[in-house]
Amino acid sequence: MDMPSKKARTDPPRQDQIITFSNEDLDGLQVPHDDALVVRLVVANFDIGKILVDTGSSVNVLHLGTFEEIKLGQERLGPAEYSIYGFSGASVQVNGKIDLPVTFGTYPLQKTILTTFMVVDIPFTYSAIIGRPALRDLGAVVSTPHLKMKFPTPTGVGEVRGQQMIARQCYAASLRGTNALAENFSIDSEDPRQRARTIRGEPAEELDSIPLTQDQPERQIRISSLLKGPLRNQMVDFLRANKDMFAWSTRDMPGIPKELAVHKLNVNPALKPVRQKKRNFAVERQTHIKAEVEKLLQAGFIREIWYPEWLSNVVMVKKASGGWRACIDFTDLN
């Protein structure tokens, strides 16, 4: 994407950090390749995937479909003073522009910059494009062979790794001429564990389901079907005798030692905690959040408090099975 030249912006302050790339940055990549750098970034507190890093674009572009997905509101769009132009030189209609915070990298090696996006409604397979303006403000160095970008932060050199498989999917979709918006605009939908997931092994033999108790036949365990005779009976008797070792819900896990189940943030107690901005969830996620909170309340793991000094949002993570995992900030009852 290109735009007419406007007034020059102030260059970011120079950094004395040295940014380099080595063979270690190639770990996890299929090489050789000519894939584009496609990344996931946090834009306006939303985790958005399929963002193209394009050093040839003189503007940052946000697709109208992505803008509508994150529900920012049309009233926040400001007028665009100029048109932008595609590769063919044809003018692209701009719906408006908006300034949004974009977070690059992971804590503590991360940086958040205010980025001006041009919102457009044209068919392309990416949810957004990060162009030269954002890369300049970030102070980023992009390496296409390594599918990675690095940038200076106050605590060291941060980095954002590209998603090679996603980049290839986007390229294939563009060749097909498709514009599957519901598929391409992934917001909070990717389980990070999928990035390094291998094919799960299957049991070497068939398994039989055995109920642990007669009054609750739905609570079953699985043992090898190859176990026969007295050995099988001994295994079943042993498991049933120790049925209290199995947890079927949060109610079955009281008295967990804190050193095993509690983690703490290394924060300065002299500083005032920061209240997170309230986040709106889709109806499906709200249903799962309410069910999870209700289970924790009934189990006595959490309690309701009023006027908290710090409120943190629930984080929903997609499971491989298709369900949801709710990550909740617990409050000590002691």
Q: How many CB atoms lie within 10 A of CB 263?
A: 6
What's the CATH architecture for 23-190?
Answer: Beta Barrel (2.40)
**Where are the domains positioned within the chain?**
23-190, 207-246, 258-327
- Reduced to 3 states (helix: H, G, I; strand: E, B; else coil), residue 200 is coil
pLDDT band at 1 (very low <50, low <70, confident <90, very high): low
Q: What is the pLDDT of residue 210?
A: 86
pLDDT per residue as tens digits for the range 293-326: 888 787 777 777 765 565 677 788 877 777 777 7
Place of tokens 């790794």: 161
Report the candidate in 191, 206, 219, 208 with the shortest Cα–Cα distance to residue 321: 191
CA distance 64 to 121: 5
Burial of residue 275 (number of CB atoms within 10 Å: 0-12, 13-18, 19+): exposed
Under DSSP, the state recorded for 252 is G
Q: What is the pLDDT of residue 250?
A: 67
65 phi and psi, to 5 degrees? -60, -40
pTM above 0.75, yes or no: no
Q: How many CB atoms lie within 10 A of CB 239?
A: 15
CA distance 23 to 43: 30
Q: What is the pLDDT of residue 151?
A: 94
pLDDT per residue as tens digits for the range 158-179: 999 999 999 998 888 877 664 4
Q: What is the pLDDT of residue 86?
A: 65
25 neighbors 107 (Cβ within 8 angstroms): no
Cis-peptide into 123, omega within 30 deg: no
145 neighbors 121 (Cβ within 8 angstroms): no
Place of tokens 């040839």: 56
Report the candidate in 118, 52, 54 with the shortest Cα–Cα distance to residue 84: 118
